[in-house]
Structure 1
Amino acid sequence: MSGVVTKLDSAISRLADLADNPAFPYRQAVIWLSSLQTAWELYVQRRQVPKFSIPFPPPELKDHLKKDTFKKAQAYGRDKITYAMANTVYSFAVSLALVYFGVYASTWDATGRFMARVGLAASRTIVHSLLWMSYLTLIQAVPGIAWSYYYTFVLEEKHGFNKSTVKLFITDTLKTYLLTAAIGLPVLAGFLKIIDIAGKHFVIWLMLFLLGIQLVLQIIFPIFIQPLFNKFTPLPDGELRTRVEALASKLKFPLAHLYVIDGSKRSSHSNAYFYGLPWSKRIVIYDTLIKDSSPAEVEAVLAHELGHWYLSHPTRLILIAQAHLLFTLLVFSIFIHNKALFEAFGFDPRLAVSSPTGGSQPVVIGFILYQLLFEPLDTVVKFFMNSKTRKYEYQADAFAVRLGFKKELGDALIKLHVSNLSSPHSDKLYSAYHHSHPTLPERLRAMDEYTGASWLKLSPQAKKQELTEQHKKED
């Protein structure tokens, strides 16, 4: 094992030496890569625009979308894509301005001067890093509030989905910023401290630290954080509760609590999900889903969701995310002391090695610059992740169909599609890039190909074996 670590260290050192080249135009590379990414985003979005001019719904939905509803869905989709394209251009302009005008370096200097004025020692690198990140976040996020306001109170309001109020919007925004600071800043401080202590072997320790943070957030988010935004009430006794509990028992799903969430106070969109530790799960159903669907249809939606659990999809996605994080940190270790990268963005190149004013190296600078350089390349990762999650959605649909919910699931998905005014037509490239779920026509066609009758007659052991074999083939 030590031999592998030694070889990896040697390879990283050689790559770091090659990357630390003053002749390489890092700043220009970021500008060009960001420009290419934006051009790609706009191209993909533009491909979707003609789909909103198609005069008829797809064959699978022609009997379910009334003419008036279809026109509303097309208009809603057209407005959303216009908003998305404008927001893409705006985001690019902000990113370009930050790089072109040297905002990253100037704000680092500005926060350093602020520390001096309030009597904080310049050697307190982590405090300086937290102030810098807070400043950068605010100057980018505050203008974004206007975009969020427009989306909620103009676009969503226009199409009848907004149920929020200005007061609720303001309190939600303030809560989000405060929670982001309360959680994000200590995590960032821990992130920087671990790198400071662990030195060049920081990757494995950071992986363990971030995995621990994810587990803690998974526990505290539904218990302490989400109730700040929504009210959870136990699902009352009745047909729906009886159906859900019977389904959970049949699948041996460790159901601990069954809640209804008041999603209707913000939007008329619907959803259902589960969360919790492996031995104690909670199911949450939106009140809008209960209002618009029959108990059998809600049960079918949950059969799909529990199919994800039964087939270990959340665990698989977590492992993929961890692999991506490991790769990201390993590549970052190549650039962590890159003087050329720091200097290209107007920083004192000495900051890539240590702090000239004393204290530890401001690693946060290198990490942000590294993200600027490699973020556009995550386009490939986005395709891969969507491909994976779309496959998992097909598998969860098949699971529900095999349990005998084909008609109910199809009816529920159609109702959700109609009530949410989802786009009836999707460009293939746009869908592959932006959608984590297959389109409704794709899902309905796939469900027609599943045969559930023989599945229902199998023993639990045989069902498990068949699913395992199918999983191996598809992977």
Structure 2
Amino acid sequence: MVPQWSILLCLPAFTWTTMLRDRQALGSGSPPLDPRTSLTDKARQYFTAEELAKGRAYARGRYLLHGVQMALTLGFLGLLILSPLSARILDLSASVAGGRVWLTIGVFGLLLALLYDAITFPVNLYGSLLREHAFGLSSQTFAAWAWDYTKGALISAVILLPLLMLLYAFIRWDPVRWYLPTWVIIMLMMSLIAELSPILLDPLFHTFRPVQDQGLVERLRALTDRAGLTVGPILEIDASQKTKKTNAYFAGLGRSRRIVLYDTLLAASTPEEVELVVAHELGHWKRHHIWKGMAISAASTLAALWLIARLLTAAADSGRFGFTHPADPMTLPYLLLIVFVLNILTTPIHVAISRSFEREADLESLRLSANPRAFIAAEVKLARSNLADIEPPHAMVWLLYTHPPVLERIAVAEAFQVRQGQ
């Protein structure tokens, strides 16, 4: 549960981990679907009218909350840039830091983060706890949720505030080419976090244990052998302490690589369905998505930082925003606004790449398992347990969906089933 303000500091570098560790349901690709009227018929073939309505209400409320969060963020950054508030917070930061420039940056960033979290806390509380309870998806108490939220904020501060101070040290060192060392540090840090997160960070939020069903473990080991991938432990996570949703994911790189299964998934699924979920994740590795994602992220992060450097210099030269040098701490709200706007503009591209990867992974999962019936059953169960929007608006898919909609995934398995003659 990492507050959104922290993501703004190095958002482009999160692209590849978001694409490959998104803990939603399976993704897949499909041939063109029938017209909209037949989609409704297809949906009713697998889901009841009540399930369709509940999934629609849940998902579309999430779309609205996403819009509210974006509006709050934009309004907050706009207020900092266009009002004296930012200057007053910076003066307070300098006083607390005793005039030390590097510490002033850290205190300034921390105060802005605390203010942003205070503004967005009601939305976060409602969206991630109260509303989840209202839809019967959460099993977490307020105290447990608040403790997770606090831990996420502390972890973000420990990691990102030193990076923020280092960023401004680079800008002071070279106001023109600061983006180059910044890019190197961001990519190294994101790779390090991806490697160490399963070992150091994830256990702070969940309890892990080896999967107890040895028959299932042997089945999944045989699956990974067929895929030609060596993985570490196959673990069960106590997701039921927080949610009633089901899922599974791969975590880590190299020696820290492991398979993690929600205990809710194990309780609700057959071994064949669990195998299909894991086969999907194996599909990402067979198609080298992690390396492709890292390459895309490296290129997009470098391009974004170069553009930010140019815009920051232009704003400083203009003198219109209360600062005349890129290293002035007053540039921070402006820098965050650029990152935020770039994120909005590039999200459709990022999620389109992610959907493409998910389609390839689904096809690989069908080839690995040769069990389209279990694929369909797993997809239907995941959609039900996670209250998926079975017929999402096309605009929302284009703007936000890292995975193709449920009916597309089912269509792929049905086509595979026909080719198999099942």
Query: Scaled by the length of structure 2, what TM-score is found?
Result: 0.83
Instruction: Say whether the 8 Å CA contact 1:102–1:346 is kept in structure 2.
Output: no
Structure 1 residue identity aligned to 2:334: L
DSSP 3-state at the match of 2:249: strand
Q: Deviations over 1:12-67 (max 9, x none)?
A: xxxxxxxxxxxxxxxxxxxxxxxxxxxxxxxxxxxxxxxxxx99972333122123
| C-alpha displacement of 1:317 | 1.3
Distance (Å, rounded) in 1 between the aligned partners of 2:79 and 2:309: 27
2:341 counterpart letter in structure 1: P
Aligned length: 384
Partner of 1:99: 81
Paired residue type of 1:141: D
Q: What is the rounded CA distance, in whole Å, between the counterparts of 1:374 and 1:294 in structure 2?
A: 44
State whether structure 2 residue 414 is matched by structure 1 residue 448.
Answer: yes
1:405 aligns with 2:381: no
Give 1:441 shift.
0.8
Letter of the 1:270 partner, please give it. T
Residue type of the alignment partner of 2:251: Y
Unaligned runs of 5+ in 1: 1-53, 354-360, 455-475
- Give aligned-pair identity as a percent: 24
Change in CA separation of 1:204 and 1:433 when aligned onto 2, cut-off 3 Å: same
- The offset of 1:381, in angstroms, is 1.4
Distance in 1 separating the partners of 2:332 and 2:260 = 37
Residue equivalent to 1:382? 347
Matches within 5 A, 1:13-92: 58-92=40-74
- Which stretch has the larger CA shift, 139-148 or 85-94? 85-94
Is structure 2 residue 368 aligned with structure 1 residue 392? Answer: no
- Counterpart mapping for 1:148-227 below 5 A: 148-197=124-173, 200-227=176-203
Q: Give the structure 2 partner of residue 428 of structure 1.
A: 394
Amino acid at match of 1:427: P
Query: Could you list the runs of 5+ residues in structure 2 that have no partner in the other structure?
Result: 1-35
Structure 2 residue corresponding to 1:147, chosen from 96, 120, 123:
123
CA distance in 2, matches of 1:196, 1:245: 52
User: Which string of whole-angstrom CA distances, capped at 9 and with x for unpartnered residues, describes residues 71-107 of structure 1?
Assistant: 3223323433444444444444434433332322332
Moved more, 189-198 or 398-407: 189-198
After TM superposition, the structure 1 stretch with the greater mean CA deviation from structure 2, 105-114 or 197-206, is 197-206
CA contact (8 A) 1:386 1:434 kept: yes
1:212-235 Cα offsets, whole Å, 9 max, x none, are 212221222111111011001111
Determine if contact 1:57/1:424 at 8 Å carries over to the other structure. no
Q: Is the 8 A contact 1:258 1:284 kept in 2?
A: yes
Equivalences for residues 266-345 of structure 1 within 5 A: 266-278=242-254, 281-338=257-314, 340=316, 343-345=319-321
Partner Cα separation in structure 2 for residue 286 and residue 342 of structure 1: 53
Q: How far apart are 1:296 and its partner, in Å?
A: 0.6
Distance 2:351 2:79 in 1: 30
State the TM-score, normalized to the length of structure 1: 0.74
Contact 1:260 1:286 in 2 (8 A): yes
Does the CA-based 8 Å contact 2:195-2:254 persist in structure 1?
A: no
Once the two structures are superposed, residues 244-297 of structure 1 have per-residue CA deviations (whole angstroms, 9 ceiling, x without a partner) of: 111111212111111111111111112211122235520101111111110110
| Change over 3 Å in CA distance of 1:368–1:94 after alignment to 2 | closer
* Distance 1:173-1:55 versus aligned 2 partners, 3 A rule: farther
- Provide the C-alpha distance between the structure 2 equivalents of 1:266 and 1:336, rounded to a whole number of angstroms: 42
Partner Cα distance (1:99, 1:202) in 2? 22
Alpha-carbon RMSD across the aligned residues, in angstroms, is 2.6
| Change over 3 Å in CA distance of 1:66–1:129 after alignment to 2 | same
- CA-to-aligned-CA distance 1:375-401 (integer Å, 9 cap, x gap): 324433111111111111111111111
2:43–2:407 Cα contact (<8 Å) kept:
yes
Taking a change above 3 Å as real, the CA distance of residues 191 and 435 of structure 1, as seen in their structure-2 partners, is same
Question: For 1:438 and 1:64, how far apart are their aligned partners in 2?
Answer: 17
Q: Tell me what 1:369 maps to.
A: 334
Q: How far apart are residue 68 of structure 1 and its match?
A: 2.9
Letter in 1 for 2:187: L
1:341–1:369 Cα contact (<8 Å) kept: no
Structure with higher RCO (Cα < 8 A, 6+ apart): 2
Partner of 1:461: none
Query: Residue type of the partner of 1:441?
Result: L
Residues 290-341 of structure 1 deviation map (CA, whole Å, 9 limit, x = unaligned): 1111011000111011100110112111111111111122123324444646
Which stretch of structure 1 is more off in the superposition, 225-234 or 237-246? 237-246
Specify the code of the residue in structure 2 equivalent to 1:411: A
State how far apart, in whole Å, the 2-side matches of 1:203 and 1:91 are.
Answer: 24
Measure the CA separation in 1 of the matches of 2:88 and 2:314: 19
> Aligned partners of 1:114 and 1:280: how far apart in 2?
41
- Please state whether the residue corresponding to 2:258 is helix, strand or coil: strand
Aligned twin of 1:467: none
